[in-house]
Structure 1
């Protein structure tokens, strides 16, 4: 069974005002003093956000426990500093982000200006083991059409700088301002993939391969395919569902490759449109169907994804849990729906943050 790891970026906020607060350095110092693993938490581009990474896990129960554990520990450390953590992909309240002081972050700010300053966005990255770069690139070729569905499922960023954006994932629109972000073309083989990323860095526009921000890429650190398109999920149960679906996609794609099945030949232009529609609609309207590239109701597109990976879910023992979690998500809505529901009931942006803080650390 393929192992899966998850990286989540969390928003650090003031416990009283709900506004993002630059606490990442203090939270990491406190976590280290309390005897936690030195690499449990990492700083991100802005000091108002914090990242954690799980261990590679084969069992989804183990992965779920670890996600909840790190969310709760981050919340406890932040609380001791007068803060809180929220699994929000963007801040509902206005914010002036503080770029980190490290040389990498300072280079980004110098080179990309306002784009860097505005990137206080929190995503969820799912790593799935692959046996080789050749298998990994074959997987990347075959999962491309399905990535927009993952964005719609995870959408959790309807507000930006104090206003409703009319999007369900505005984070993805902000993230798309990086010159290397988004969907990519088909690659003939692993050598072609590596030549493309080498050439991108050689332009001098990117600092290194870590700045190749494809929606899905080969990890430069681990033997994994890294799917990066999703918003950080409000509920940990949705993160677990996302991990199940991504592992299912990777396994399904690898099987197709071994069977000699060609990937869908959709152009990058069509894939960009599908991602835009997923960001705009979330689960509330029509999406672009990954196979026909034509409009279809969000629920039917989500069901198409589930049907596509069902054999892999059955073989990993995840099919019943994934079915239950997807049904709950389609019934109750993603983070964007939760946020808007609070606002439509007459709640303030501050109350949205409160509700999201409450949901962030609860169990699966």
Structure 2
């Protein structure tokens, strides 16, 4: 994988979706208050939140943003409104990949689509009380989108490890940095995608999945990177929702630059590295288990290497793109936070070391970015 060149850079728009968990403000146990939170957000803040699969989750979306600084600004503002709406509705909104406390099943949201998913997939749907972060980056067309996904695939394990933010379940340490990834992997169509020859090949595989009943439609093709179903974007879906806005901005910058470089490579005839799907799956499992401060398989070299070294390699390759598209500041800010405080899983383990609930919930509050100055980063 060659280093990016600043001579020709695709500077695409970017958007971020984040899912948050609603919990009891004292016990941290998930509560089904999504309807109330959505109503308060609409009435008091003019903010249209989205339902998710269960009633203990809400989703936010940025607009189509010109760069990552705009993403960061919008996330700061929206997270603050969500936190206030949740408090007004008698609960707390936290940014965590999986419920750290209490039960891990949710009440299915009352909509035609979600009821159908519940009928077809049973307990699997009820146990998806997990929260991720999805990054959309614009691409010129669908054929390019498929080839861009091929170029992004090798870096999925690094993105997974850097964003791991769910070490606990039912008050116990799972031993994983991202328990959400393990829960999510139960879906029949999840994890790293195959290597696709063309848009037609992608469509043929999706058709097979739908005929087989493992996906109801293309929206349920839950691979970690995919062409978006409705937007002219590539969507990277592998990440836990981030603890802070700066963590989310770092992810958005990495994904935006990966896609930007891939578009140029595709146009220039540079082939993607055809990493076997099973190799990627093993590396992603290791990334979810180890997190930022561990090691996982480097799929290009075939050797296990520290995640932080692999992240440094990625940043070095993409630095010309960051400089050209204006995202270098966001990357540097995010890396300082990771190097100072560790990843989300590391921070959670420190906060919950004595088994006290409040320090953990305070860390995970979705408006915690407002308190980031105390941690040496830039407040919203």
TM-score normalised per structure 2:
0.91
Do structure 1's residue 281 and structure 2's residue 301 form an aligned pair?
no
State how 1:1-364 maps to structure 2 within 5 Å.
1-34=11-44, 36-37=46-47, 40-95=48-103, 96-344=105-353, 346-357=354-365, 360-362=368-370, 363-364=379-380
Contact conserved, 1:156 with 1:335, CA < 8 A, in 2?
Answer: yes
Give the whole-Å Cα distance in 1 for the aligned partners of 2:44 and 2:227. 34
Quote the offset at 1:35 in angstroms: 5.7
Task: Give CA-to-partner distance per residue, 1:270-317, whole Å, 9 cap, x none.
Answer: 000110010001012112224213101121111011122222112102
Task: Give CA-to-partner distance per residue, 1:110-146, whole Å, 9 cap, x none.
Answer: 2222211111000000000001011111100111010
Q: How many residues align?
A: 361
Secondary structure of the 1:45 match is coil
Quote the offset at 1:197 in angstroms: 1.2
Give the whole-Å Cα distance in 2 for the aligned partners of 1:192 and 1:31. 42
What RMSD over aligned residues (CA atoms) do the two structures have, in Å?
A: 1.5
Give the whole-Å Cα distance in 2 for the aligned partners of 1:185 and 1:20. 35
Could you say if the C-alpha distance between residues 360 and 196 of structure 1 is closer, same or farther in structure 2, counting changes exceeding 3 Å?
Answer: farther
Contact conserved, 1:274 with 1:288, CA < 8 A, in 2?
Answer: yes
Quote the offset at 1:160 in angstroms: 1.2
Secondary structure of the 1:11 match is strand
Select between 259-268 and 243-252 the one with higher mean Cα deviation: 259-268
Give the whole-Å Cα distance in 2 for the aligned partners of 1:68 and 1:119. 26
Contact conserved, 2:165 with 2:177, CA < 8 A, in 1?
Answer: yes
Q: Which runs of 5+ in 2 are unaligned?
A: 1-10, 371-378
Contact conserved, 2:158 with 2:287, CA < 8 A, in 1?
Answer: yes
Give the whole-Å Cα distance in 2 for the aligned partners of 1:310 and 1:358. 29
Give the whole-Å Cα distance in 2 for the aligned partners of 1:304 and 1:328. 18
Secondary structure of the 2:135 match is strand
Contact conserved, 1:48 with 1:97, CA < 8 A, in 2?
Answer: yes
Task: Give CA-to-partner distance per residue, 1:185-220, whole Å, 9 cap, x none.
Answer: 211111111221122112233221110001011111
Q: Which residue of 1 aligns with 2:376?
A: none
Could you say if the C-alpha distance between residues 204 and 298 of structure 1 is closer, same or farther in structure 2, counting changes exceeding 3 Å?
Answer: closer
Quote the offset at 1:359 in angstroms: 5.7
Select between 270-279 and 247-256 the one with higher mean Cα deviation: 247-256
Q: Which runs of 5+ in 1 are unaligned?
A: none
TM-score normalised per structure 1:
0.95
Contact conserved, 1:168 with 1:281, CA < 8 A, in 2?
Answer: yes
